[in-house]
Amino acid sequence: MAKAPMSDLPKILREHESQILDQWLRLLTQNVRTGRGRITERELQDQCRDFLAELRDAIEGGNLDDIRTGSFDRLRDMLGHISRSRAAQGFTPSETAIFVFSLKQPVFEMMKSETASAESWAFGMLLDQLGLYSMEEFLKRREEVILRQQQEIAELSTPVVKLWNGILALPLIGTLDSSRTQVVMENLLQSIVQEGAEIAIIDITGVPTVDTLVAQHLLKTVAAARLMGADCIISGIRPQIAQTMVHLGVELNVASKASLADAFALALHQTGRRVTRISSNDAKTSGISRGSAPGGLTGQANIGS
Amino acid sequence: MDRIPILQMGRALLITIQVDMHDQLALALEEDLAAKIASSGARGVLIDISSLEIIDSFIGRMLDNIAGVSRLMDAETVVVGMRPAVAITLVELGLSLSGVRTALNVDRGMAIIQQRLHDYEIADGD
Amino acid sequence: METNSGDVLVISGSDDVVRVRQAVRAKAIEIGLSLVDQTKIVTAASEVARNTLDHGGGGTATLLTVQNGNRQGLRLIFEDQGRGIADLDRALTDGYTTGKGLGLGLGGAKRLSNEFSIQSTPGKGTRVVIARWK
C-alpha cells in the first residue's frame, strides 16, 4: 500500500482542478438526470467543487488508507449529506454511487502523465471506500423513510369512526399482524374511553385472510374491549373467509354479522334503539324533502332512542 | 394492617381501589367482602379500579374470586373503569376475567346494579 | 450494547413486590417507554418478583437501563437462592402452579417482555432476566 510521506495527489488536484472538474461534471451529467424536482446542474457543479476541495484537504497529510480517520471528518460529513439528500430526492443507487466513482477517470488521466501507478492504486482504493460510505448513507436514509412510512401506514389504516352515540366502528384493512394489533387495540380502547362507547363494531371486509393467528389477534382485541366494559361485534366476514375459518377450525366466540349494516342494526337494538322509516310529511317539516335525494333512490330514516 | 374500605349504599356495596395493593391486602379484601355480603344482604358489588395502574395475575385472580364468591351468595359484581393499557396488558398476560362483569365507568356500573336490584324488588313484591 | 450499574432492591416481603413495581415504573418513565410498554414491563416485574418471593424465598431485583444503538431499554434481573426449579418448561406452562397463583406468572411475564431468560439449579436458586425495549 502506497503511503508516501509527500504524496503528489494534493498537488495534482490543485494544479489541474479546473480540468478535473470539467471532465468529472461531463461524466456526471451523462449519467445523472438533473432538474425536475431534483438538483440543478448548478448545484451539482457546486457539490463537485466543494467535494474536490475537501478531498484535497483530507489527503494533504498523505493519508489515503482510511476514511474513518479524523482528516476525513469533513469530507465524510459532506458526502453523507449529499448521499442522504440523493435518497430523499428519489435518485437510484447507481446515480448516487456514480458521484464518487466517476471521479476516478479524470484524476487517473492527470496522474498518468505525472506519477507512479502505486499512487493511482491507492487513490482508486480511497474512492472505493468513499463510494461504499456514500451507499451506506443512502441506504440509511431510505431505511428511515421506510420505518416512518410503516408507522404512518399502521396509524392511518386503523381509523375508529363513531357511528352513533356510544357505537364505534373499526374498519380493518390489510393483514393483521401482532404489531398492528397493538396499534389497533390502543386506538380502539382509547376511543372507547373518549366516546364512552358501549359497542364497537370491528369490520373485517378489508382483511384478506383470517387464519388462526389473525383470529387470535381479533379475539385479543375483543377481550381487551370487554375488560373495559364495551361489547364487540365482528362484521364483514366474506363467504370464502367464513369457509376457510371453518376448515381451519378457527372459532370466534363473539357476535358476528355479515355486513356492517347488520352489525349496526344489532348495536342499535342492543342499546335500545331502532331504525324506522318516517312519512314524507315528517320529512318536509324536518327540512329534508324526499325529492332532494339523488334519483329518489333513498328514503329517509330516523333513529329513535 | 391497612384495609380497603367497603361502602354500603342500600343493597349495593362500593369499593374503590386507590392504592397499589400488596398481596395480603388483596387477600384481606376478598375475605372482608365475603363477610360484608353475608352481613348486609347486598345484591350488587361495584369495584372501581380506575386508579389501578397495573393488574397482575394475583389481583386478576382476586377479582375473579370476588365475582365467583359474590355470585354464590347471590350478588353480582361489576368491575368498572379499567384503563386501556391495563386491559391490553391483562389480555397479553393471558387473563380474560370471563366470570367478571365490566362497565366503562361508575355510572354505567351502577345502572347495571340498579337494574338488578329493581328486578329483585319486583320478584320480592316490595 | 451499553449498560449502566443498576439499582438493587431486596425482595423479602409482599411490600417489596409493590416497591419493585414502583421502582420499575419510575425507570420506565425515565427512559420514555410508552404507557402500554410501561404497564407491560411493570406487570411482568410484578409476576417475576412474586415468584422470587414465594418460590425462591426472597432475593433481589436489579434494575438496569440499557442502550443498544439508538434504542433504550429496561433490563431487570431477579435472583434468589431458593429451592430452584427442576422443570423449567413446565414452570413456563400456563396453568402450572406450585403456589396459590393462577400459574400465569412466569409464562405471562415472558409474553409481556421483549427478552426473557431463566436459569435455575434445584437447591441453589433461580435467576430470571427480562427486558423491554423502547
Confidence class of residue B38 from pLDDT cuts 50, 70 and 90? very high
Taking an 8 Å cut-off on Cβ atoms, the answer to whether A224 and B88 are in contact is yes
Q: What is the pLDDT of residue B39?
A: 95
Q: Which ipTM was obtained for this model? A: 0.91
How does DSSP classify residue C5? Answer: P
Residue B105 lies in a domain: yes
Digit-coded pLDDT (tens) for B73-105: 999 999 999 999 999 999 999 888 988 999 999
Alpha helices in chain A (DSSP H): 9-15, 17-31, 41-59, 73-88, 93-101, 104-114, 117-156, 178-195, 212-227, 239-248, 260-270, 280-285
Q: Which chain B residue is nearest to residue A195, measuring alpha carbons?
A: B104
C2 CA: distance to closest CA in chain B (Å): 28
Taking an 8 Å cut-off on Cβ atoms, the answer to whether B23 and C14 are in contact is yes
Is pLDDT at A299 greater than 50 in this prediction?
Answer: no
Looking at A152, A172, A207, the residue that finishes a domain is A152
C112 contacts B93 by C-beta, under 8 angstroms: yes
Q: Does C11 touch chain B (CB under 8 A)?
A: no
Q: Which chain B residue is nearest to residue C16, measuring alpha carbons?
A: B22
Same domain? For A41 and A96 the reply is yes
Digit-coded pLDDT (tens) for A101-139: 999 888 888 886 665 677 778 888 899 999 999 999 999
Residue B1 lies in a domain: no
Nearest to A223 among B84, B91, B103 (CB): B91
Cα angle B50, B53, B57; round to 5: 105
Nearest to B54 among C21, C102, C107 (CB): C21
Among candidate residues C29, C31, C24, the one with its CA nearest the CA of residue C45: C24
Residue B44 lies in a domain: yes
Cα distance between residue C130 and residue C117, in whole Å: 7
Q: Residue C44 carries which side chain, given as an amino acid letter?
A: A
Q: What is the pLDDT of residue B125?
A: 60
Nearest to B53 among C39, C50, C102 (CB): C39
Q: How many domains does chain A have?
A: 2
Q: Does A178 touch chain B (CB under 8 A)?
A: no
Nearest to B94 among C38, C42, C108 (CB): C108
What is the average pLDDT score of chain A? 83
Q: What is the pLDDT of residue A304?
A: 55
Q: What is the pLDDT of residue A2?
A: 43
Domain residues for the domain of A62 are 9-152
C134 contacts C33 by C-beta, under 8 angstroms: yes
C102 CA: distance to closest CA in chain B (Å): 7
- Check residue A121 and give left, alpha or beta (phi > 0: left; psi -120 to 50: alpha): alpha
Question: How do B101-103 and A167-173 pair as beta strands?
Answer: unpaired
Q: Which residues are C132's β-sheet partners?
A: C74
Residue A287 lies in a domain: no
Q: Is A206 helix (H, G, I), strand (E, B) or coil?
A: strand
CATH number at residue C115: 3.30.565.10
CATH number at residue A186: 3.30.750.24
Q: Cα separations (Å) of A273 from A40, A161, A268, C44?
A: 64, 19, 5, 43
Domain residues for the domain of B18 are 7-124
Residue A61 lies in a domain: yes
B77 contacts B43 by C-beta, under 8 angstroms: no
Residue B2 lies in a domain: no
Among candidate residues A201, A197, A190, A192, the one with its CA nearest the CA of residue A232: A201
| Residue B56: all three cell numbers together | 397482575
A275 contacts A265 by C-beta, under 8 angstroms: yes
Q: Partners for C (CB, 8 Å, 3+ pairs)? A: B
- The region of weakest confidence among A141-145, A169-173, C22-26 is A141-145
Same domain? For A141 and A14 the reply is yes
CATH number at residue B35: 3.30.750.24
Same domain? For A66 and A138 the reply is yes
Confidence class of residue C9 from pLDDT cuts 50, 70 and 90? very high
